[in-house]
Amino acid sequence: MRTVYINTSNVEDIFNQLEQNLGGTLKVRPQEYNLVLDNDVVSGVITGVCFKSRICFMEYDVTFKENTLITSHAPIKNPIHFMYCAKGSLTHSFGNETEKYILNQFQTGIFSSDPSKDTVLYFKKDEQVRISNIMVATNQEASSDENIDQLRDKLLKTFKPQNGATTFAYTGSYNLKIAEQMEQLAAISQKGIVRHLLIQGTVHLMLAMEIQQHKEDRTNAKHNFGSLSKEEMDDIRELSAFIKNYPEIQYNLKYLSSKSGLSPAKLQEGFKLLHNRTVTDYIRNVRVETAEHMIKTTDLNISEIVYSVGLTSRSYFSKIFKERYNCSPKHYQDHQKSLAITA
């Protein structure tokens, strides 16, 4: 088994040490890092970015050629790690402790400890893993943003070890929305300050979603919610992708229940857990988002688009479109055309 040691919490130094240990080509732009790997040890890419809020983001999209540990030690203050697994699986532990925490696909995890404990990530041989790690600094230095200080104080109160404990660990339920945010991050093509602001906004949103996930999981545990198995959640995920690919089908709970093999009650529970929406709300949202994309990318008129996404009433479509985008579909389409003319 290969072990990689990281002895800093500074993102720039982390990437320099990763390059020294794993090879690859490190590309650096202001506050952003990209390590491309393709050798006998590992293939893939590790990216990272840091913000003035003392929040840093790293994403591993890698396949190791042998079982590998990445052991991180922060000599002064360990950050709080907000992790999310978008592909494969990952195991976390604190140093050499025997207790391990497994993050499966679409699962969240929050980990923190005092500086006496290392953070250890276990990567399996030949398994592609894509995982994000939002690291929130825990030092007490005041920032220029009062909101950031309040956020840090709240996170310290909630997610740092309490009452003499040296570690805090939480593994959450399944959430597809965070994976969608990771895809949006990967799709950002802008440069300069616009790129940095878009990345920062998306990372902060992911952090908020993980905190909300923790809150909802605690509520569900208190009320004995969350009875779905991993296999049933996988069925929900596949059904969600099917709806997204074919929004024009006239869906109802009976059809979806038959297709997935899940009861209507489990369908509703699964969609609420993964998307924070009912089945009907999810279908409606997919149709509106698909229609918005078609308005921007096709020459179809509004009536043709309404039919293409499985709706039959243009007035109803206009109503739900305006609720989502704060303007009518016709106004949105005209604006797109004017942009094309002036481009």
Instruction: Give the per-residue pLDDT at 308.
Output: 93
Which of 210, 211, 117 minimizes the C-alpha distance to 165? 117
Instruction: Give the per-residue pLDDT at 41.
Output: 94
What pairs with residue 103 in β-bridges?
90
Instruction: Give the per-residue pLDDT at 215.
Output: 84
The alpha carbons of the chain give a radius of gyration, in whole angstroms, of: 22
Same domain membership, residue 317 and residue 247: yes
Instruction: Give the per-residue pLDDT at 144.
Output: 60
Same domain membership, residue 244 and residue 182: no
Per-residue pLDDT of the chain (343 residues), as tens digits, is 899 999 988 899 999 999 999 999 999 988 899 999 999 999 999 999 998 878 899 999 999 999 999 999 887 778 899 999 999 999 999 987 778 999 988 889 999 988 888 899 999 999 999 999 999 887 756 556 666 667 777 888 888 887 778 889 998 877 878 888 898 998 998 888 898 999 999 999 999 888 888 887 777 666 554 567 778 888 898 999 999 999 999 999 999 999 999 999 889 988 887 888 899 999 999 999 999 999 989 989 999 999 999 998 999 999 999 998 889 999 888 877 665 555 4
Domain boundary residue, one of 222, 253, 285: 222
Sign of CA dihedral 288, 290, 293, 297: negative
Q: Which amino acid is at 278?
A: T
Instruction: Give the per-residue pLDDT at 160.
Output: 84
Domain that holds residue 41: 2-222
> Encoding tokens for residue 303?
């009536």
Q: Any idea what the CATH number is for the domain that residue 330 is in?
A: 1.10.10.60
C-alpha 343/C-alpha 145 separation (Å) is 37
Helices (H) and strands (E) in the chain, counts: 11, 13
Interval 213-227: pLDDT, tens: 888 777 766 655 456
For the purposes of burial, counting CB atoms within 10 Å of the CB of 95, is it exposed (0-12), middle (13-18) or buried (19 or more)? middle
Instruction: Give the per-residue pLDDT at 226.
Output: 57
Same domain membership, residue 204 and residue 236: no
Which of 133, 212, 138 minimizes the C-alpha distance to 172? 212
Question: Could you tell me the end-to-end alpha-carbon distance of the chain, in angstroms, rounded to an integer?
Answer: 55
Instruction: Give the per-residue pLDDT at 6.
Output: 93
The number of distinct structural domains making up the chain is: 2
Pairing of strands 25-29, 2-6: unpaired
C-alpha 38/C-alpha 199 separation (Å) is 26
Q: Any idea what the CATH number is for the domain that residue 183 is in?
A: 2.60.120.10
Domain boundary residue, one of 222, 239, 261: 222
- Give CB contacts under 8 A, 24+ apart, made by 235-242: 235/260, 235/261, 235/262, 235/270, 236/260, 236/262, 236/267, 236/270, 236/271, 236/273, 236/274, 237/106, 237/174, 237/176, 237/274, 239/267, 240/176, 240/271, 240/274, 240/275, 240/282
Length of the chain as a residue count: 343
Phi, psi values for residue 143, rounded to 5°: -100, 175
C-alpha 125/C-alpha 227 separation (Å) is 32
Contacts for 210 with CB less than 8 Å, ≥ 6 apart: 82, 84, 108, 110, 134, 172, 178
Same domain membership, residue 177 and residue 238: no
Same domain membership, residue 253 and residue 194: no
Same domain membership, residue 263 and residue 204: no
C-alpha 343/C-alpha 341 separation (Å) is 6
Instruction: Give the per-residue pLDDT at 141.
Output: 61
Instruction: Give the per-residue pLDDT at 343.
Output: 47
C-alpha 311/C-alpha 305 separation (Å) is 9
Same domain membership, residue 188 and residue 86: yes
DSSP H or E run through 44? strand 42-50
pTM: 0.70
Same domain membership, residue 112 and residue 8: yes
Which of 325, 336, 323 minimizes the C-alpha distance to 297? 336
Same domain membership, residue 128 and residue 68: yes
Same domain membership, residue 53 and residue 159: yes
Same domain membership, residue 240 and residue 206: no
Domain boundary residue, one of 188, 222, 256: 222
Same domain membership, residue 237 and residue 217: no
Instruction: Give the per-residue pLDDT at 257.
Output: 92
Contacts for 168 with CB less than 8 Å, ≥ 6 apart: 110, 111, 112, 113, 159, 160, 161, 162
